[in-house]
A and B are shown apart, each in its own frame.
Chain A
Amino acid sequence: MIPKRVSSIKFEVLSPQEVRRMSVAKIITPETYDDDGFPIEGGLMDTRLGVIDPGLKCRTCGAKAGECPGHFGHIELAAPVIHVGYAKLIGKLLNATCRECGRILLKNEKRDKFIAEIEKSRELGQDFEDIVKEVFRVTKGIKKCPHCETEQMEVKFDKPTFFYENEHRLTPKDVRERLEKIPDDDLPAFGMDPKAVRPEWLVLTVLPVPPVTVRPSIILETGQRSEDDLTHKLVDIIRINQRFMENKEAGAPQLILEDLWELLQYHVTTYLDNEVSGIPPARHRSGRPLKTLAQRLKGKEGRFRGSLSGKRVNFSARTVISPDPNLSINEVGVPLVVAEELTVPIYVTDKNVEEAREYIMRTEHPKANYVIRPDGRRIRVMDSNREELAEKLEPGWIVERQLKDGDIVLFNRQPSLHRMSIMAHYVRVLPYKTFRLNPAVCPPYNADFDGDEMNLHVPQSLEAQAEAKILMTVQEQILSPRFGGPIIGGIHDHISGLYLLTRGEKNFTKEEVMSIIRPLNITKLPEPKYDDMWTGKQIFSMILPDITIEFKAEICQNCEECKGEECENDAYVVIRDGELITGTIDEKAVGAFKGIIIDEIMRKFGSEETRKFIDNMTQLAIRAIMNAGFSFGISDEDIPDDAKKQIRDLIKEAERKVDELIQAYREGNLEPMPGRTVEETLEMRIMQVLGRARDQAGKIASQFLGMDNPAVIMAVSGARGSMLNLTQMAACIGQQSVRGERIGRGYTYSNRTLPHFTPGDLGAEARGFVKSSYKDGLTPVEFFFHAVGGREGLVDTAVRTSQSGYLQRRLINALQDLKVDYDGTIREQTSNMLVQFRYGEDGVDPMKSFRGKAVDVKRIIREVMAEEGKEV
């Protein structure tokens, strides 16, 4: 079957005739239901407009509730009213046309010139708003009609819907009469299409009444009906409309009629848009402003963004996630309860009819939940009809069987900021109630396990499943299109584990080796390096594919002269033919975002091999860390009293220096830095002194902590935390700041931060320097300043997420229609505009590029030279 496509949508203004033509009922009474709760004929809930109550039948199409799409009705307005959305345009039109003959205030030749210009822009697909603006600007200045010589008067537009000519109010009726006179030929000059709109249609004489299905009433628990906001507003309109008609017939005084007319205008205005500036919004009895037509369309939860661009789906699940290192990175653990509910369709053919039948006959987990007959009827498979259905089953039916191991599903975590936020995983049905995933895939999802929830979708068509498997699986997403490097790799314990395993020459007995590599499916051990002892580097080499690479590890100290393989920190990694010769494996080698080894394997062996490597690497790392034993507690920040004293002295010295600076400043001896005031200079100098003191305190602390301290191991290897974190825990927290400055606000009038200090105190303590460490605990004053500084961080995050979210939305909106064409150019799809002759000037996919470079020339040279048996 060739799918049909909607080719285009044309937008036009509804004419009164059109409104009447499509109407199935004229609505005349404001009452909705009679005493029996039955819809009144000619009322707003007229059954000709469609039905929402089960049991009733639509009088227009005869269908039941849920099947009848609803039909429009109409209200004949007793007097014309202005459409708020077009009031401004009407104002401009009145000023641009003759008040007598209705012609545009331009000579025909001039008008045609403008029209030709607009036509040209339209053809080129350009915006002609500016030309139209020019037409209105020019015509506004013309005081005499060039066609009938009538003197023109300026029509003033008073928001939201009033027009005045020489202080004299123009009624909507007058306005409409004038608009009627504008000939079709003049309309294109105003950017209007005479086929789509007549100007007088912008003044309403009939109002379409949307079908009941658009404004369903809800029945509360009390049995009372609660009508939709639109119905309420329509009731108001009809009530005033009726009153106006009665008064007019009764010959009521002009004043009363005018009041009613204005009221009718108000109700129609708020019916169309309840957020018009200048008039109070119509309110519900409870005081809540009504949600009328414009409000339904607008905004995030409106029709466009909420219902049309964001669609709801079936075959999806959501629950809390938790880690499972025993899964492969491209698997997801699905709870049995979820797997029993989600289904995959089997399109029955004569080749799989037996298989499908088996699913129907099964009574346990991977069984069939529903079968769909060729006529579209969906039948639930139950004990009672199981055999009958199995019997009847034949090619052409669809069997919906439960999710089972090996099925492909899409897994997603919001916010979906990049394409790696939705990846395809293979299902593993597991007990318990959480989705399980390998911790190595946390970075692309930006997930952790502090209560995060994720969504799962089951692709239903074979095309979708194939696409998911080929394009969306985790291993296909290891390289990020953002920078052409890996974003999946080891995290936390994976890095500490491999660091512990590979650092230096650690020796392992056969038993230890076996226990470490147990989950790895390694069949042959290499020769032990020392008799019966294997090194950690050897163990790591067992999982390495055949690669050759050299790089500096994360722990590299950036010595002035790199000693290469002789590095005494064991920070220079050399891998030759899949054998780790020297160097320590850490974040730089296997970490997410950095992972040089992962990058290399990906380029040399492809995604499947890389997936296996990451699986093995994480397993090995976890085993290694368990073998070594790794824990971290408060006592790991213990530093000897001697060190504490050193730190205390250091900080005292810094405080003394600060006092000296303040002293110098008070005496006017402080030399300002170029381009700065004395005050700024003082602040900068103080910050410098205190910052240095904190750094030195940290250095002292880390001297005493040593390289085998777990916190140090984590910080150096890049597993988690930094030396700064460690400093703050063990030595000194340091200066708290707000907007990059020391904390100086608080009791502004007495110029101090807290009543504990003398006014004008600029000392370290009084301006938020925290000399305690987290382990020692903070004094009350320090605690206060810490909270002040901490709050800035919280505010910052909150503001940032909303701002960057909006930026992302705008970027996506601006760029979404760009694609690479078959000729390698980048074009905008809607206008077919050529944006780039060659994507990125070289046509290279950033994901396949080598960190931005089109080709990794060095690697190719290395490869070729090796092939030729030559050294580089």
Chain B
Amino acid sequence: MVYEDVVDPYPFPESLRKEILNELEKIKPTKKIAKKIVEKCYQAYLSNLVEPGEAAGIVAAQSIGEPGTQMTMRTFHYAGVAEINVTLGLPRLIEILDVRKNPSTPMMTIRLTEEYAKDRNKAKEVANRIEATYITDIADVATDIRNMRIVITPDERALERKGFSFDELKKKIEKGLKTEVVEEGRKLVVQIAEPSFKTLMDTFEKLRKLVLMGIKEIRRVIIRKEGEEYVLYTEGSNLKKVMKIKGVDFSRTTTNNIYEIYEVLGIEAARSALIREAISTLEEQGLEVDLRHLMLVADVMTVDGELKQVGRHGVAGEKQSILARAAFEMTVNNLLEAAVRGDIDNLSGITENIIVGQPIRLGTGDVELIAKINMGGDNK
């Protein structure tokens, strides 16, 4: 607190400002020494700045691409949650940069509101509301071909575990199948109106696929205790629906499906998710990559407010330059299209200038300096 008036006159970035304040707080030097430290930090900061013209993009691409060769290809168990498989390593990195709408192993981390987080039973209650429950999970289902009907025998224990009442079950089935369900003791009977084998089987199938409770996409929920609170991990993901569930603290709930985050929470959230997912994938593999590189990639993917993949259908495909696009992928189509549209390539990028054989406008090529060299001779 006391050192702020020493630090604040300098235009430090926020993270560095905090760090300096923190470190000063630890050793509590005199104001004079503190001033000296801060001044030195500022000098160091200035000398650590990037130089204009630096090919920041290429360095970022290399820094992420190069460790790719060292990554594994397998799906592993998620660190900590042995029960859930999560894609890791190179396939996951590719998935992230491709912005797949359906990642191969969608997963959510759901944190609960205070009321629910402390109590295991309360947490279980929320889990029940989220996990997709099918008829086979809580009852025996049999087709009675002779009488053209389906007999459902609920498992009382399972019903209780799921916090589901008999009447609720009946209503759900009636609503889902849009037919009448008859109670026969503790059994439920669905009578097929039209007596044909096919309709019987169709109805049976429909019944089996009917989600009685929970969210369709979420196949499994696992409850784990983390520190003081219970946290839910799910296999499958549906952020929008989960956020609406009672007991879910949506501000601390997340998914590994970046596209979903983009759709539900918007572009800035998607950018953060991209960075977070990419860095955790790399870190899990023991690869150190500076955060700035991932930020740059994430920013390029999200600049214009749309989440674009790295590749033909996204960033690279929307390049202005025809030559750059042609040199990447879909060579012939790009050229044909450019001709009909009468497009002009302004040769401002890298590939274009390499193609026509002139210096690129990056680094030392970005500076123009002309010197008249006298070879001697008539100099005398």
Contacts and interface: CB of A to CB of B under 8 A. Distances in A.
Nearest to A353: B376
B196 interface: no
Interface stretch (B48-56, B182-190, B205-213): B48-56
A11 B316 contact: no
B74 A852 contact: no
A844 B292 contact: yes
Contacts of A848: 47-48
A739 B77 CA distance: 12
Contacts of B292: 839-841, 844, 846, 852
Contacts of A852: 290-292
B66 A854 contact: no
B355 A297 contact: no
Contacts of A396: 375-377
B296 A816 contact: no
Contacts of A831: 320
A542 B67 CA distance: 36
Contact of B61 (A11, A127, A471, A808): A808
Nearest to A858: B23
B148 interface: no
Contacts of B320: 125, 830-831
A845 B48 CA distance: 6
Given A467-B364, A845-B49, A740 B75 contact: yes
A857 B20 contact: yes
B376 A484 contact: no
A309 B351 contact: yes
Contact of A6 (B61, B69, B347): B347
A297 B67 contact: no
Contacts, number: 376
B343 A10 contact: yes
Given A418-B63, A819-B56, A829 B347 contact: no
Contacts of B72: 796, 800
Contact of B311 (A273, A810, A816, A863): A810
A796 B19 CA distance: 43
Contacts of A302: 331
A322 B324 CA distance: 39
B332 A843 contact: no
A481 B16 contact: no
Given A483-B288, A830-B324, A816 B57 contact: yes
A807 B37 contact: no
A483 B20 CA distance: 21
Interface string A464-503: 0001000100000000011111000000000000000000
A475 B375 CA distance: 33
Contacts of B310: 810-811, 814
Interface stretch (B159-167, B246-254, B262-270, B334-342): B334-342
Contacts of B336: 85-86
Interface in A306-324: 308-309, 311
Given A804-B71, A830-B321, A10 B64 contact: no
B142 interface: no
Interface in A798-844: 799-801, 803-804, 807-808, 810-822, 824, 826, 828-831, 833-836, 838-844
Contacts of A740: 74-76
Interface in B170-222: 220, 222
Contacts of A85: 332-333, 336
Contacts of B379: 350
Given A812-B62, A842-B13, A674 B83 contact: yes
Given A804-B68, A817-B349, A865 B52 contact: no
A3 interface: yes
B288 A808 contact: no
Given A395-B375, A868-B33, A10 B40 contact: no
B56 to A, nearest CB: 5
A348 B373 CA distance: 12
B293 A819 contact: no
B346 interface: yes
B310 to A, nearest CB: 5
A628 interface: no
Contacts of A348: 375-376
Given A7-B347, A192-B341, A803 B61 contact: no
Interface string A341-368: 0000001111101000000000000000
Given A11-B338, A803-B90, A811-B61, A833 B303 contact: yes
B29 A865 contact: yes
B16 A814 contact: no
B4 interface: no
B332 A419 contact: no
A195 B341 CA distance: 9
Contacts of A838: 13
Interface string B341-377: 1111111111100111111011110100010011111
A295 to B, nearest CB: 9
Nearest to A868: B33
A339 to B, nearest CB: 27
B340 A484 contact: no
B358 A816 contact: no
Given A11-B338, A351-B376, A844-B50, A804 B56 contact: no
Nearest to B24: A861
Contact of A11 (B47, B293, B345, B375): B345
B327 A304 contact: yes
A304 B331 contact: yes
B158 interface: no
A196 B339 contact: yes
Contacts of B322: 9, 11
Interface in B255-304: 288-293, 295-297, 299-300, 303-304
B139 interface: no
B79 interface: no
A845 B349 contact: no
A722 interface: no
Contacts of A10: 342-345
Nearest to A294: B332
Contact of A483 (B91, B220, B290, B297): B290
Contacts of A350: 376-377, 379-380
A800 B33 contact: no
Given A482-B290, A804-B65, A852-B290, A864 B37 contact: yes
B49 A812 contact: no
A641 interface: no
A855 B311 contact: no
A452 B283 CA distance: 30
A484 B290 CA distance: 8
A861 B82 CA distance: 44
B45 interface: yes
Given A810-B316, A812-B62, A673 B83 contact: yes
A812 B296 contact: no
Interface of A: 2-3, 5-13, 85-86, 89, 125, 127, 191-193, 195-197, 202, 273, 294, 297-299, 302, 304-305, 308-309, 311, 347-351, 353, 394-396, 417-419, 467, 471, 481-485, 673-676, 684, 739-740, 796, 799-801, 803-804, 807-808, 810-822, 824, 826, 828-831, 833-836, 838-846, 848-849, 851-858, 860-861, 863-865, 868, 870, 872
Given A9-B323, A815-B297, 9 more contacts: A348-B376, A419-B59, A816-B350, A817-B349, A820-B52, A841-B13, A843-B50, A844-B13, A854-B19
13 contacts: A3-B359, A5-B347, A193-B340, A396-B377, A417-B62, A418-B62, A813-B351, A815-B61, A816-B350, A820-B56, A833-B304, A841-B292, A857-B23
Interface of B: 13, 15-16, 19-20, 23-24, 27, 29, 33, 36-37, 40-41, 44-45, 47-69, 71-76, 82-83, 90-91, 93-94, 97, 220, 222, 288-293, 295-297, 299-300, 303-304, 310-312, 314-316, 318-324, 326-328, 331-333, 335-336, 338-351, 354-359, 361-364, 366, 370, 373-377, 379-380
Across the A-B interface, the 9 shortest Cβ-Cβ residue pairs:
A196-B342, A193-B342, A818-B57, A840-B292, A808-B65, A350-B376, A815-B57, A804-B68, A842-B13
